[in-house]
């Protein structure tokens, strides 16, 4: 328990929004197959400041979008158009290349909107990193939700926990789940994954005697033996899995086992040859030159 690592949050601007970047970090570049964890909110914004992330490309990864409050709208170069509601999962498999845009959604009667969301990247295995791109929406009624005990409820987004299995497509040993405390609680948890991290998204928690605030991410030395203390209403996001044997190169929105794949994607995006999102005329430009 004494070798757990606490990763402090880092604010990051994406388009017209500010998020908390929990991974990658100098203390931990990857967590199992996870290479990127962004946490936004909970915040309230005026409708004139709604989220608008312009079209941008990805390769070599899966993006997973999950809203704890608020709604969003996804479009991509495959022609997908999908609203995502609270508790749903939007899964985008970038593979050899995809372009997408993300916007917030609201009712015309709203003057402000509350939003709270997580977006993560999961690196694809070497054998699948150049697969055909794909987009899948999973509604919340398809995702297992169950009580761990009298106080803690788990929403299993990806992977397996005891007898429960999420239907969300994955290519490697992966866990992604949300745990909400219905009461003040002190519990022991055990996860059968080689690496595990827990992010406090709401409230406060004490995990293995370490005091954590919202946006703190703790990497557990022993996922099989975890002591947690939480207040009513605390929400935790858990990320686990087995690390890949190969190094992952990450530059901008690209993830690959070979630098050549990132260079090729950057050159294609520079001349707009990775596809377009129907109805969109603007896009996020390449942030610079990628050199092998």
pLDDT band at 47 (very low <50, low <70, confident <90, very high): low
Q: Are 279 and 55 in contact (CB under 8 A)?
A: no
| Confidence (pLDDT) at 1 | 47
| Confidence (pLDDT) at 113 | 78
Query: For the residues 104-125, what does the mean pLDDT come to?
Result: 82
- Cβ neighbours of 93 (radius 10 Å): 21
pLDDT band at 43 (very low <50, low <70, confident <90, very high): confident
Q: Using the structure block, give the residue that is written with the tokens 């390769």.
A: 59
- From CA 15, how far away is CA 205, in angstroms rounded? 31
Bridge partners (DSSP) of residue 99 are 57
What is the CATH class of 5-241?
mainly beta
Question: Mind giving me the DSSP string for 19-32?
Answer: EEEEESBTTBS-BT
Domain boundaries, the chain: 5-241
- From CA 210, how far away is CA 189, in angstroms rounded? 15
**Is residue 110 over pLDDT 90?**
no
pLDDT band at 19 (very low <50, low <70, confident <90, very high): confident
Residues 6 or more apart in contact with residue 148 via CB below 8 angstroms: 154, 179, 187, 189
145-170 pLDDT, tens digit each: 999 999 999 999 999 999 999 999 99
- From CA 252, how far away is CA 286, in angstroms rounded? 8
* Phi, psi dihedral angles at 261 (to 5 degrees): -65, -40
Residues 6 or more apart in contact with residue 23 via CB below 8 angstroms: 7, 29, 30, 31, 34, 35, 36, 37, 197, 217
1-11 pLDDT, tens digit each: 469 999 987 88
Residues 6 or more apart in contact with residue 172 via CB below 8 angstroms: 33, 122, 125, 241, 242, 244
pTM of the model as a whole: 0.95
């Amino acid at each position: 328990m004494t070798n757990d690592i606490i990763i402090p949050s880092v604010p990051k601007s994406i388009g017209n929004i500010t998020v908390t970047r929990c991974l990658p970090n100098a203390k931990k570049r990857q967590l199992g197959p996870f290479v990127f964890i962004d946490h936004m909110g909970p915040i309230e914004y005026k409708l004139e400041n709604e989220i608008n992330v312009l079209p941008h490309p990805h390769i070599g990864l899966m993006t997973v979008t999950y809203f704890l409050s608020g709604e969003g709208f996804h479009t991509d170069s495959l022609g997908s158009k999908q609203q995502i509601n609270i508790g749903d999962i939007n899964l985008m498999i970038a593979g050899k290349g995809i372009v997408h845009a993300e916007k917030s959604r609201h009712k015309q009667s709203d003057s402000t909107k509350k939003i709270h969301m997580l977006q993560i990247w999961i690196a694809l295995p070497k054998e699948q990193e150049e697969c055909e791109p794909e987009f899948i929406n999973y509604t919340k009624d398809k995702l297992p939700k169950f009580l761990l005990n009298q106080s803690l409820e788990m929403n299993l987004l990806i992977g397996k926990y005891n007898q429960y299995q999420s239907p969300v497509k994955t290519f490697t040993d992966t866990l992604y789940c949300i745990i909400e405390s219905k009461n003040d609680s002190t519990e022991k948890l055990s996860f059968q994954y080689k690496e595990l991290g827990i992010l406090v998204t709401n409230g406060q928690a004490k995990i293995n005697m370490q005091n954590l605030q919202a946006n703190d991410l703790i990497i557990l030395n022993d996922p099989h033996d975890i002591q947690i203390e939480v207040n009513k209403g605390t929400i935790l996001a858990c990320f686990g899995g087995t690390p890949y044997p190969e190094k992952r190169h990450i530059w901008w929105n690209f993830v690959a086992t070979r630098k050549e794949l990132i260079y090729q994607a950057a050159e294609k995006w520079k001349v707009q040859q990775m596809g377009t999102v129907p109805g969109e005329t603007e896009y996020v430009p390449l942030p610079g030159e990628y050199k092998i």
